[in-house]
Amino acid sequence: MKKLVLLGLGISFLAFSCKTAANLNVDKAMKTAESQLNYSLKLHPDKTTYPRSINPDGSTFLVPSRDWTSGFYPGSMWYMYSYTNDQSWADTAAARNAGLESVKFNTHTHDLGFVLYCSFGNGLKLTENPEYAQILLQGAQTLIKRFDPKIGSIRSWDFAPWEYPVIIDNMMNLEMLFWATKYSGDSTFYDIAVKHADTSMKNHFRADYSSYHVVDYDTLTGGIKAKKTHQGYSDESAWSRGQAWGLYGFTMMYRETGDEKYLDLAEKIAAFILNHPNLPEDMVPYWDFNAPNIPNAPRDASAAAITASALLELGRYSKTGSTYFDAAEKILISLSSPAYLAKPNTNQGFILMHSTGHLPKDSEIDTAINYADYYYLEALLRYKMLNQ
């Protein structure tokens, strides 16, 4: 079987060794995940729409290619191909990728990294298809058109009431820019990624290293107009998935630059998450660390999966790596239990249950969401690589 491949991570990932928990059976979890993906494909044969979550009536919420979550579905299939070496998964992923190509020209979203790098990026790593490289390069060229040098950030949303909003999620789209510099030799992509990260580092974080969701900037002066938490409980609360995006994003920044300031910040974000008094015993956070109805607040398995994947990488770089590995292991044990892992042929083919998308908008509450599945698979593969 070929070596497992993950975006941005090469052979050096194997240098960090760890123990194996007897009660985390990666192969069993992956078998369940494969069964669910196959079930999903039977339910949703249309290659132009992508299962995102489950509607309140129990039906699947399907989205078009322009939706920010569309790349996670084929991305999960690429991860399954990485794990199984079954060519049918590569063929299926490639077929689902095809409907996303037009997104490379979409100048109206910052989520090109999510859409293109999770799909074509994984495909490129596993197949070395030169067409995928050209799609990614065009996507990177499109993404940097949203960069304003006066503000020092890539704009996130284009809708009111924001003037120039930048969300912590945007850190996740920078990885494609680093790839673009390595592929093209053009340092512009790298420089913009670093500037965006530095601006976010300066303006998004509170004294306790929790993160605001949104920083809105003045386009004339470049100054800050407001700091908000749009998808969390309140502006000063710690929206759980936002904390996970920050942890993952700044860990990636250290990998790509080697700059210790990013590692230091990632460790401080991890400390906020792991030491928070409202983190449940099973390590799957409530949708917001400051939700008023804890312990009866909805959980967010997606935040847990993103955090686990990030912690496994952070453990490679930190002097206290075993702490992060142990925490990630506990999260994965919980997510792989019947409390969160769906039974085969249920859950509309999604792998995990109990994620929360946008509770203040009454959207995707305590349900399955495709990015939870994607980062869960990524975390399982990272864990398996560490134990080879």
Q: What is the pLDDT of residue 16?
A: 47
Is the pLDDT assigned to residue 59 strictly greater than 70? yes
189-206 pLDDT per residue, tens: 999 999 999 999 999 999
Q: What is the reported pLDDT for 387?
A: 86
pLDDT exceeds 50 at position 111? yes
Across the range 243-257, mean pLDDT stands at 98
* Residue 30's pLDDT band (cuts 50, 70, 90): very high
Catalytic residue among 27, 57, 111, 148: 111
Peptide bond before 161: cis, by omega within 30 degrees of 0?
yes
169 is catalytic: yes
Q: For residue 233, give Cα distances in angstroms to 161, 206, 242, 289, 293.
A: 18, 16, 12, 9, 11
Please state, for a pLDDT cut of 70, what percent of the chain lies above it. 94
- pLDDT band at 7, cuts 50/70/90? low
Q: Under 8 Å CB-to-CB from 244, ≥6 apart: which residues?
A: 273, 302, 303, 304, 306, 307, 310
What is the pLDDT at residue 234? 98
Please, which pLDDT band fits residue 260 given cuts at 50, 70 and 90? very high
How far apart, in whole angstroms, are the C-alpha atoms of residue 113 and residue 123? 14
pLDDT for 14 beyond 60: no
Mean pLDDT confidence for 38-55? 97
Q: What's the confidence (pLDDT) of residue 278?
A: 98
Cα of first residue to Cα of last residue in the chain, in angstroms, is: 13
Cα distances (angstroms) measured from residue 42 to each of 46, 93, 240, 349: 10, 14, 33, 9
Q: How confident is the model at residue 241 (pLDDT cuts 50, 70, 90)?
A: very high
What distance in Å separates the CA atoms of residue 199 and residue 281, rounded to the nearest whole number?
34
Is there a contact between 282 and 226 (Cβ–Cβ < 8 Å)? no
Residue 171 has pLDDT above 50, yes or no: yes
| pLDDT class of 117 with cuts at 50, 70, 90 | very high
Contact call for residues 37 and 77 (beta carbons, < 8 A): yes
Angle of helix 188-203 versus helix 175-184 axis, rounded to 10: 160
Q: Is residue 186 flagged as an active site residue?
A: no
Among candidate residues 169, 288, 300, 373, the one labeled active-site is: 169
pLDDT digits (tens, 9 = 90+) for 78-107: 999 999 999 999 999 999 999 999 999 999
DSSP 227-258: EE-TTSSSTTS-BHHHHHHHHHHHHHHHHHH-
Is omega for the bond preceding 338 within 30 degrees of 0, making it cis? no
How crowded is the C-beta side of 340, counted as CA atoms within 13 Å? 28
Q: How confident is the model at residue 11 (pLDDT cuts 50, 70, 90)?
A: very low
Whether 64 has a pLDDT exceeding 80, the answer reads yes
Q: What is the CA radius of gyration of the chain?
A: 19
Mean pLDDT of the chain, nearest integer: 95
Task: Residue 189: name the closest of 252, 241, 144, 139 by CA.
Answer: 144
**pLDDT at 281 exceeding the cut of 60:** yes
Q: Is 198 within 8 Å of 155 (Cβ atoms)?
A: no
The predicted-structure confidence for 298-334, as pLDDT tens digits, reads as follows 999 999 999 999 999 999 999 999 999 999 999 999 9
pLDDT band at 43, cuts 50/70/90?
A: very high
